[in-house]
Amino acid sequence: MDAFMQAAFDEALKGYEAGGVPIGSVIVHQGKIIGRGHNQRMQNGSPILHGEMAALEDAGRQSASVYRDSVIYTTLSPCSMCAGAIELYGFPKVVVGENRNFLGQEQRLRDAGVEVSVLQDQQCIELMARFIREHPEVWNEDIGE
Amino acid sequence: MDAFMQAAFDEALKGYEAGGVPIGSVIVHQGKIIGRGHNQRMQNGSPILHGEMAALEDAGRQSASVYRDSVIYTTLSPCSMCAGAIELYGFPKVVVGENRNFLGQEQRLRDAGVEVSVLQDQQCIELMARFIREHPEVWNEDIGE
């Protein structure tokens, strides 16, 4: 697995082991991870800290020039909130672990000029599928269903 | 001013008085405020706690049925991140204080079936304009520019 996707997956796994929604993300600026995080719905009762949002929060305040020279990695296809955040800050590229368990707003990102690369990584697919099987109600809540 | 927009404006003012970006929001479920907040970029170094996101976080975990029976009030037109969150959780309606200082993704929300009502409230317009005049660099950072 790509080293940065591995780091995002490690975040997802940390989330799963803590009883949370196993979606992780890292933000990479010029080859270095500047933010990382995972979904905090279960652990912190947060409806906004999806994986990507947690990584953004961890990276803290950054200028537009940093985001525009960064890549965001996420284990699962980004929902409308996370896609909107990626669009707001002008990331040129998103690397997605998989979109089999959930297809987010990849097309909208592409329409906005963002490069979207989907790895269909087996580890990401299996961990997410396992969580959805074990906690369908939490998963539905996480995607507003 | 509408009482709920007044509550959102009070949040914005609280933010301004703390040296922050003056955008506030409340979430109203069946006539009762269940979440309120304001932008936390300056106060907490947060790139994700825009007004609407802070109100969502304050409301905490809610089922889809609650969001779908709620209205979100925000003093300023929602950016792509906040519009994406509104879309994710299925709010049927957004009441916007003003869109003169910043026109967010209202059209996208309408296309997604969300009712968007814009009040063009003078207090909201003036407070936001004042902040942008005083801190243009923070404002640009807040909208990824």
Question: Which domains are delineated in chain B?
Answer: 3-143 (3.40.140.10)
**CA dihedral sign, ordered A63, A65, A67, A71:** negative
Q: Which amino acid is at B61?
A: R
Candidates A52, A58, A88: best to mutate against B (most CBs of B within 10 A) is: A88
| pTM assigned to the model | 0.97
Chain B partners of A62 at a C-beta cutoff of 8 Å? 47
Q: Is B120 on the interface with A (CB under 8 A)?
A: no
Q: Is a pLDDT exceeding 90 seen at residue A67?
A: yes
Which chain B residue's Cα is nearest to A41?
B61
- Binary contact (A143, B88; C-beta < 8 A): yes
Tens digits of residue pLDDT in A20-46 = 999 999 999 999 999 999 999 999 999
Q: Is B79 on the interface with A (CB under 8 A)?
A: yes
- Binary contact (B64, A105; C-beta < 8 A): no
* Mean pLDDT in consecutive groups of 10 residues from the start of chain B, 145 residues: 96 98 98 98 98 98 97 98 98 98 98 97 98 97 95
Provide φ and ψ at A38, rounded to 5°: -145, 165
Q: How many residues does chain A have?
A: 145
Q: Is A136 on the interface with B (CB under 8 A)?
A: no
Chain B partners of A79 at a C-beta cutoff of 8 Å? 84, 88
Query: Helices B122-134 and B3-17: crossing angle, nearest 10°?
Result: 20
- Respond yes or no on whether ipTM tops 0.95: yes
For chain A, what is the mean pLDDT?
98
- Token readout for A9 is 């997956």
pLDDT of residue B1: 81
Give the long-range contacts of residues A54-57, CB within 8 A, separation 24 or more: A54/A25, A55/A11, A55/A25, A55/A26, A55/A27, A56/A27, A56/A85, A56/A89, A56/B47, A56/B48, A57/B46, A57/B47, A57/B48
pLDDT of residue A1: 81
Q: Is A90 on the interface with B (CB under 8 A)?
A: yes
Q: Is a pLDDT exceeding 90 seen at residue A106?
A: yes
Interface of B with A in 1-60 (CB under 8 A): 41, 45-48, 53, 56-57, 59-60
Q: How far is A79 from chain B (nearest CA, A)?
A: 7
Helices then strands, each counted (H, E), chain B: 8, 5
Chain A partners of B46 at a C-beta cutoff of 8 Å? 57, 60-61
